[in-house]
Each structure stands twice: as C-alpha cells, then as structure tokens.
Amino acid sequence: MSFVFDASKPIALGADHAGIDFKNQVKTWLEEKGFTVKDFGTYNTDSVDYPDFAHPTASSVETGESSFGILFCGSANGVAMTANKHAGIRAGLCWETEIAELTRLHNDANMICIPARYVSIALAKEMITKFMETAFEGGRHQNRVNKIAC
C-alpha cells in the first residue's frame, strides 16, 4: 500500500542523543506550522541506544497511528537500519533535498532518517518539506517496491 501523507494524523519523531537538538527544533517548527507531533524521545543529551527510540517511532508509523516518521541520529544509519526491521516501514537515509524527493518518488518511503552531524537544520527542514510534498510515482517503481519485503 502506498504511503500518502495524512495531515490529520501526528508525525512521529525520534532521536538519540546526537539528534535531539534537531528533533526538538523540527518538533517546534512542525507544531508552528499546525501539525501534530508524537515525540518518542530521547528527551535529554545523555548517551542512549538509538534502537530504543527508533523502534517505537517506526511502530507508530507501521500501525497507522502516525502518518509518517522522522528519525535523527549522528549518521542516521543506525536509526534507518532499525526502522527498516519493521515489515511495514520503508525508511530512507537522506542528506540532500533531491534524495528526500527520490526516496518518496521512487521508493514510497514512509520514514525519513536525517544525519544530524552532517546536515544543517535548514537543510533538514527543506528535506522534510520535500518529503511531505512528494507523492509516490508508482508505475515502474511499484513493482520494485513490491519486491522490498522479505
């Protein structure tokens, strides 16, 4: 089933200690834009294990409780790997706006994973905006997406 952004549902957010500042800034930014956000932590800068926050964030998207998810960590690799363990999740690691667009357009991603140590907050917001605005293209990409799940 193709992901379509549903503004009536919350946006799920999660981060580890390396991504908490981005998570908090994005949370405020989204709320100022009128979106509801479900924050799965972390809530301070103490060192934590990223799966403890990526799993509940991904579960919220997988169950349909949240429209889509945003995860932050230092490189975003760990949270992306963790989220993608969930059968209903297609989490894409994004570091440029065009990658965020293609992750939606070609891969029907329902989570965006952002490397807080390697992009600016302004770029993170641009990527999230592009992710939210871009629809899955379908067509030849649908067959490929159908082959992702094991």
Write down the pTM of the prediction: 0.95
Among 17, 55, 106, 113, which one carries the catalytic annotation? 106
Domain assignment present for residue 92? The answer is yes
Domain membership of residue 85 as a residue range = 11-146
pLDDT in tens, 73-129: 999 999 999 999 999 999 999 999 999 999 999 999 999 999 999 999 999 999 999
120 falls within a domain: yes
| Tokens describing residue 11 | 């946006």
Residues 51 and 82 sit within 8 Å (Cβ to Cβ) = yes
- Concerning whether 150 is annotated as a catalytic residue, the answer is no
CB count within 10 Å of CB 11 equals 25
Q: Choose, from 55, 73, 86, 113, the residue flagged as catalytic.
A: 73
Question: What tens digit of pLDDT does each residue of 120-145 get?
Answer: 999 999 999 999 999 998 888 988 98
Residue 6 lies in a domain: no
71: domain CATH number?
3.40.1400.10
Q: Is residue 1 part of a domain?
A: no
Q: Is residue 61 part of a domain?
A: yes
Per residue in 2-21, pLDDT (tens digit) is 556 778 899 999 999 999 99
Q: Does the annotation mark 86 as catalytic?
A: no
